[in-house]
Amino acid sequence: MTAPRRLLLGLAVVAVPLLLALLGPLFAGEPGPRAASFTLGGGHWLGTDFVGRDVWQQVLHGGRTVVLTALAATALAYLVALPVGLVSAVTHARRLEELLMRPLDVLLAVPSLLLVLLVASVFTPGAAGLALLVALVNVPDAARIVRAAAAEAAARPAVEALRMQGESWWRVAVGYVGRSSLRTLAADAGIRLTGVLYLVSTAAFLGVGVAPDAADWAVMVDRNRTGLFVQPWAVVVPALLIVALTTGTNLLFDAALEKSPRRKGRRP
């Protein structure tokens, strides 16, 4: 599949869940009277859920938490990982590099979901707390990716030439090394956002960060699974929206990377 087609497919796949997540609450309206649980029809497009609420209305309300939490967690992870990775790659101070990277290696040894559950067992995080927690568990791996991508650029003769010309650390680390690593970091961002969406959805599925009866796509999958064979839409629709969001995100990043070939003749 060519890059333009992959881009169009990615846009088409991700548009539905993204629009529902961001604009759905504006069109959801006021909740009506509850009906019997796990019913089909009766004036409800997608039937009712496990407590008799309209499934379509829950779908309109349920995506904003998933999407915004995932985007916030990804942005926060890179906000920490970028300076840590760049400093580790560009600096010549071995002790500073060890001080920055070794604690992250300890966190990296603990499975992400296990760490989320361990912290959640101590205190109950809200949506903001879940975003911070997911960002924390993604910082070690993101920092290592940043460092690995930046280390190759930092070893080029051009970096030494910039230092000899008296260029500032910011100009060397961000202006040259950081820009040279953008392609690798963009590829990692697509994969990382997908992983963050998975982790946020899994945490919500397990009741971390959201109320047990919240209008959330992941919570809907969990709470309505007992009626899957009676009223499948309450589970299938939110599950498909989460899948479409992650798949479409990967397609968009793949197409963007394929459409931006490496510049020739720029590497010293």
- Domain annotation for the chain: domains and CATH numbers: 3-26+45-259 (1.10.3720.10)
The stretch 9-27 carries a mean pLDDT of 90
How many residues are given for the chain?
Answer: 268
What does the DSSP 8-state code read for residue 227? G
Residue 1 is predicted with a pLDDT of: 67
The pLDDT confidence band at residue 58, using thresholds 50, 70 and 90, is very high
The stretch 16-20 carries a mean pLDDT of 92
Q: Quick check: 154 and 177 in contact, CB under 8 A?
A: yes
Determine phi and psi for 41, rounding to 5 degrees: 80, -150
Q: How far apart are CA 112 and CA 104, in angstroms?
A: 13
pTM, entire model: 0.80
pLDDT tens-place string over residues 84-101:
888 888 886 677 777 777
pLDDT over 50 at 28, yes or no: yes
The stretch 243-259 carries a mean pLDDT of 80
Residue 187 is predicted with a pLDDT of: 82
Q: Quick check: 197 and 248 in contact, CB under 8 A?
A: no
